[in-house]
Homo-oligomer: A and B are copies of this chain.
Amino acid sequence: MERFKTERISGDVVTSERTEPAETRPIWLDKGGRTVKVIDQRKLPHEWIIADLETVDDAIDAIKSMFVRGAPLIGVTGAWGVYLAVRNTSSQQALIDECSRLKLARPTAVNLVWAVDKVLVDVLSARDADGRLQAARRGAEDLAEEEAENCRLIGVHGLPLIEKLAACKGGQAVNILTHCNAGWLACVAYGTATAPMYAAHEQNIPIHVWVDETRPLNQGARLTAWELGEAGIPHTVITDNAGGHLMQERMVDLVLVGTDRTTCTGDVANKIGTYLKALAARDNGVPFYVALPSSTFDWSTKRGKDIPIEERDPDEVRYVQGWEDGAMHTVLVPPEASPAANYAFDVTPARLVTGFITERGICGASEADIRQLFPEKRA
């Protein structure tokens, strides 16, 4: 990534030196407190572009257009969106209206509504006008830190699973299959599905990760492969079609994925294609775990089929972005005249899930097990 550019979402591209926080995170407030900075994940790993968010519309666009993505990061971006709303609005009603728009940016990840409400309702409702900006900033910062810590704890609680598998492998690498990107780029730090991988790698437990490329936007091939490569974790990119064969051939010891929303009964909405891997895991006796912070549980939805599944622009399927001759290109694959459909998520029913790895520990995929771990959560 020698190509460092900064651009404003709604402005012209300005070339400048690489801007990065001290510790690499996908979102942060710049020193002046005026601009929220995000890594533009659409261009990774080939281009490193930092986008400036200065308004609620910038935040909505960053979420909708997937500059930022991943349930925890969508939530944190929503929290920073509330901060931007406070900066740019004068009345309480205007703030509420801006937050309502923000919550609609994408429908599936429950973290967005949760995070916006957490700052708007829990943090700001008791504040008078004077302290609100500072409080909103503190609210977003706290929420980001909390999610980072939750992910660290997911690593702590997921590590023993990998240790146990490693104990049966006689020194050979534990093969973990993951789908899409549930790494630090999708969260704030550590990632959800990747946190136990990092924890195992730090303990010198040999692991190897099968990275589903994850069509249509290739978050696995582009983001997960890049994160794992930067961390020195052995990995191999595969097509989304390959996981079933690998499981049949006993080349996968564990499937570990994130989720965009999980019902309190254990049905898991995640990137489209997750359900197919869960079916293959079940058919081959491979454990299938979902890693998530509690912010991704939907405490009021009982049935996975009630989770709204986003349908995105079919051109995300028809066109593929990649790197050629020192520049990004966007190429058309099917015939110009052929239509496409682009459902972004599917729902893996709880019956196919071995367990959840959360910041409080591991639990089974049933409402009783989940609520036992989070007894304070009400529907």
* Residues in chain B near residue A323, CB distance under 8 A: 331-333
* Residues in chain B near residue A245, CB distance under 8 A: 272, 275, 309, 343, 345-347
A229 within 8 A of B: yes
How many Å lie between the Cα of A277 and that of B279 in the bound state? 10
- Which residues of A from 300 to 348 have beta carbons under 8 Å from B? 305, 309, 317-324, 329-343, 345-347
Closest to A217 in B: B239
A-side interface mostly: mixed
Known: A242-B272, A322-B332. A337 touches B279 (CB 8 A): no
Check B321–A218 contact: CB distance below 8 A.
Answer: no
Among A236, A271, A319, chain B packs the most CB atoms within 10 A around the CB of A236
Among A210, A243, A248, chain B packs the most CB atoms within 10 A around the CB of A248
- Which residues of A from 273 to 318 have beta carbons under 8 Å from B? 273, 275-277, 279-280, 283, 305, 309, 317-318
* Residues in chain B near residue A229, CB distance under 8 A: 335, 337-338
* Residues in chain B near residue A333, CB distance under 8 A: 213, 218, 221-222, 320-323
Nearest-Cβ distance from residue A268 to partner chain B, whole angstroms: 13
Chain A positions within 8 Å of B, measured between CB atoms, are 10, 45-46, 210-211, 213-216, 218, 221-222, 225-226, 228-229, 235-246, 248, 271-273, 275-277, 279-280, 283, 305, 309, 317-324, 329-343, 345-347
